[in-house]
C-alpha cells in the first residue's frame, strides 16, 4: 500500500459534455467522486492523499467557471468538514490560497484550523498550486536566507530544498494517478514526483469510484521500485 497517493482529477468538463449537462455540473460530480476517494483512503490506512484541485493555470478559464468552482469548494467544505473531522482527517492546503475568493479562503482556513490536530489521513488540497511556482518560491526563500547570511549555499541538500516546499515534512508521493486518458503531469508535484509511480486511466474523474481506485492501488502493489538502483 502506498503511503502517499496523489491524484490529478481530470475529466470533469468532458464528463459534463458526455452527459449533456453544464460544465459546473461536471465539477459537482467530481466533488462527489472526491468524497468517496477521501473516505476510502482513510479506510485503507493511506497516510497522505494529495489532490490537484485548482492550478495556477486554471485562472485562464472563464470567470463563470472559475467562480463556480470556488462556490462548489465552499459548499463542499461547509457540508462535509464535520464528517471529515469525525473521521480524523487532517486537511492541508498546498499553494497560495490567499488570493482566491474570500468565501473560499475562509472555508479552507476554517477546515485547516478545525482538523489541525487530527492524526488520521493527511488530505492535501492543491489550490492555486503550480509545481514551478512552488520551486520558485523555495529558491527565493533560499536566496533571501543566503543574502541575510543565515545560509551557506554549499550546505544545501535535496532535503533542505524539499523542506521549503509546500509538502515540507511529508514523504514524496509513491503513486500519482491521472484520470481521463491524459498522459502528463501538468505542473503537478514536479520536484516530488522524481521517483513516483504513475497510473493513467481513461476513466473520467466523476466516474472514478472506489473500485477504480482500488484497481490503481493493486496495479501499484505489483510494481518493483528500484529508485535508480538495480
Kindly list the catalytic residues.
10, 58
d(CA 69, CA 104): 10
Cβ-based burial of 28 (10 A; exposed 0-12, middle 13-18, buried ≥19):
buried
- 200's grid cell: 493513467
**CB neighbours of 86 closer than 8 A, spacing ≥ 6?**
none
d(CA 86, CA 214): 23
- Residue 16 near residue 180, CB atoms below 8 Å: no
- 97's grid cell: 490560497
d(CA 6, CA 17): 26
Task: Give the single-character DSSP code of 200.
Answer: E
**CB neighbours of 159 closer than 8 A, spacing ≥ 6?**
none
d(CA 177, CA 114): 28
As beta bridge partners, residue 91 has 123
Phi, psi of 51 (to 5 degrees): -120, 140
Helix or strand (DSSP H, E) at 143: helix 131-147
Amino acid at each position: 500500500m502506498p503511503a502517499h497517493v496523489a491524484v490529478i482529477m481530470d475529466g470533469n468538463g468532458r464528463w459534463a459534455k458526455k452527459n449533456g449537462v453544464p460544465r459546473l455540473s461536471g465539477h459537482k460530480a467530481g466533488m462527489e467522486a472526491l468524497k468517496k476517494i477521501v473516505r476510502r483512503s482513510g479506510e485503507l490506512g493511506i497516510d497522505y492523499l494529495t489532490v490537484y484541485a485548482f492550478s495556477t493555470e486554471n485562472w485562464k478559464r472563464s470567470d463563470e467557471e472559475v467562480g463556480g468552482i470556488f462556490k462548489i469548494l465552499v459548499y463542499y467544505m461547509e457540508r462535509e468538514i464535520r464528517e471529515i473531522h469525525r473521521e480524523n482527517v487532517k486537511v492541508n492546503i498546498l499553494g497560495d490560497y490567499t488570493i482566491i475568493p474570500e468565501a473560499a479562503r475562509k472555508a479552507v482556513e476554517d477546515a485547516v484550523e478545525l482538523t489541525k490536530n487530527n492524526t488520521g489521513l493527511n488530505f492535501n488540497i492543491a489550490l492555486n498550486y503550480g509545481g514551478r511556482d512552488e520551486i520558485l518560491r523555495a529558491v527565493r526563500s533560499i536566496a533571501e536566507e543566503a543574502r541575510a547570511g543565515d545560509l551557506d549555499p554549499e550546505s544545501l541538500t535535496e532535503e533542505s530544498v524539499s523542506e521549503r516546499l509546500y509538502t515540507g515534512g511529508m514523504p514524496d508521493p509513491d503513486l500519482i494517478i491521472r484520470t481521463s486518458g491524459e498522459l502528463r503531469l501538468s505542473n503537478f508535484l514536479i520536484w516530488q514526483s522524481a521517483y513516483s509511480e504513475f497510473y493513467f486511466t481513461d476513466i473520467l474523474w466523476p466516474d472514478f469510484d472506489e473500485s477504480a481506485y482500488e484497481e490503481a492501488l493493486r496495479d501499484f502493489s505489483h510494481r518493483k521500485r528500484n529508485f535508480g538502483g538495480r
